[in-house]
Structure 1
């Protein structure tokens, strides 16, 4: 027997407003054909004035708790991954805590952009296995529409808003076949800051800033880094790609997902893709895709699932779990 963080339930939330490529083309110099050909994206959700990172995170958390059959009071740890918090401080995780009516628990944010959810999962997993908590809400939530330059057609068409959440519980399980997180691997390389960043911040310009990206360079790094970390995490769990039932990757670009699958020799059918309907939701993309695939019945109990992502920094990481 061994101690693992077991996935009890998933949930997600999307803003009410859904924006298709055709609608976007009415205000941006682009077209549905241009966007689909280069990215695979067909639509995205954009937060309204009354929708925030914490409100979307709260809705996703409630859905995850319902799926797990738990009440908010059963949670003693909240880790929220986001690059678009409601405020500079306090952490948006504490707003989620208050929204859920939890009087006291550990709650904090993690900032690793698109890899944020993998970083949050790894932190929560270590805390649960170490005995610092029993049940955790791990959330990825973003309102990237707030930091987009809507005059830059090369970036504004790529992103959307949303939130995804999972509930993890510390359990004693069978080491060979038991459920739970089997391995995590994280990386960062800050030398590539200029390839994907926001040109502002409290300690530099005092402004929020806008997202800037050099897409082709990011694409090349993404394919190499994602395929490498997937191999690494599988090796850590004494598994091979043949053992994997599903890969749930960061939903940045369909071309990146296809290229990564080819590099690993994975069938495209084993890669969960939701980028066409959600676009790139940064830290929310992996839990959003995971929730979608569990709720539509693709991922079932006993399946081996790999989560992976790469984001600004660069940061990248992967987790392998038995659902």
Structure 2
């Protein structure tokens, strides 16, 4: 049981550090610390996050032609800001793909939502409730940022999508997961409607959020591995959400893990939300760096703040 296959879809738009510099007033040199890629993927005119998710799912199902009437669950995971209020992107994608016999709904947990949805889908397939489940992970993060606010920590928000097929015949077995929300950080960021568009605002900035990321990631990692009877030394790769490169490196250091056992794509694109781990996994596969039996830990986080760690194994 687990991840049978996955596919990615990227928008056609690009935004450069020069563009962000002009809008924000920050120098290109300063922005280079947040955006070492120099440019990042954004939705172009006429593109939507759910459309990207549909494209990723269509590509996935073309490669894995399972009977559509055997897909009993379609989950759409993200921030809950789908672009259209009071509407279901999961149902819309099911309609467009011809999936007529599934339960379709959304999983909102920001950049942690993707792996939450993967675990939910895996649990239902494992229980025999459904033969196959489809998880779509997509957001329109770049459109939620107002560069004039000066909230530079958000300036790497980019757009992208992943679609994941959960089946009994799996390429990656989902071994376990743990999540934790510390609600003291709930008002750190929130959405506000400005000129008919939702933009992210920063609340009262409390000290210690960076430490909370590190403490939660390490504690959850040890918890998940202990539940499997494994240790840090047994893990081949640690795939970490690409929200902050310093946090990524500090997490590895806290575990005593060399950077070669992770994937760094900060010079390739921005932060793609819940799709980050699948872009990293795709790199490992493309470069032939992952083998049968390899244990992979996926560390994700989202506003709230919630942290999650999921363990998967290449079959």
Aligned mates of 2:206, 2:14 — CA distance in 1: 24
When residues 35 and 41 of structure 1 are mapped into structure 2, their CA distance, relative to the original with a 3 A threshold, is: farther
Residue 132 of structure 1 deviates from its aligned partner by 1.4
The separation in 2 between residues aligned to 1:303 and 1:99, in whole angstroms, is: 36
Matched, 1:198 2:191: yes
Deviation (angstroms), 1:300: 3.6
Residues 26 and 293 of structure 1: is their aligned pair in 2 closer, same or farther, counting only changes over 3 Å?
farther
Contact 1:57 1:140 in 2 (8 A): yes
Q: Which residue of 190, 213, 220 corresponds with 1:222?
A: 213
| Residue segments in structure 1 that go unaligned for 5+ positions in a row | none
Q: 1:56 to 1:113 in 2, by over 3 A?
A: same
Q: Does 1:182 align with 2:175?
A: yes
Distance change (3 Å), C-alpha of 1:156 and 1:180: closer
**Residues of 2 paired with 1:150 and 1:64: CA distance?**
34
Segments of structure 2 that go 5 or more residues without pairing to the other structure are none
> Does the residue aligned with 1:151 lie in a helix, a strand or coil?
helix
Q: TM-score, normalised by structure 2?
A: 0.89
Q: Given that residues 10 and 67 in structure 1 are in contact (C-alpha distance below 8 angstroms), is that contact kept between their aligned partners in structure 2?
A: no
Measure how far apart 1:258 and its partner are: 0.5
Q: 1:60·1:164 contact (CA, 8 Å) conserved in 2?
A: yes
Partners of 2:274 and 2:214 in 1: how far apart? 18
C-alpha distance in 1 between matches for 2:163 and 2:273: 13
Note the 1:89-238 alignment, pairs <5 A. 89-153=86-150, 154-171=152-169, 180-199=173-192, 209-213=198-202, 214=205, 217-238=208-229
Offset of 1:168 from its aligned partner? 1.4
Moved more, 41-50 or 108-117: 41-50
The alignment of Structure 1 onto Structure 2 pairs a total of residues equal to 310
Cα offset for 1:179? 5.2
Quote the Cα distance in structure 1 between the aligned partners of 2:237 and 2:50: 29
Is this contact kept in 2: 1:117–1:286, CA < 8 A? no
Once residues 124 and 239 of structure 1 are traced to their aligned partners in structure 2, the CA distance between those partners, rounded to angstroms, is 24
Distance 2:140 2:58 in 1: 18
| Cα contact 2:119–2:174 (8 A) shared by 1 | no
Match of 2:247 in 1: 256
CA contact (8 A) 1:163 1:287 kept: no
The answer to whether structure 1 residue 30 and structure 2 residue 26 are counterparts is yes
Deviation of 1:208 after TM superposition, in Å, equals 5.2
Q: Tell me, in whole angstroms, the C-alpha distance in 1 between the residues paired with 2:18 and 2:208.
A: 27
Alignment partner for residue 77 of structure 1, among 48, 73, 76? 73
* CA distance 1:86–1:132, change in 2 (3 Å): farther
What is the aligned partner in structure 2 of residue 15 from structure 1? 11
Please tell me whether the aligned partners of residues 163 and 288 of structure 1 are also in contact (alpha carbons under 8 angstroms). Answer: no
Any idea what SS the aligned residue of 2:50 has? Answer: helix
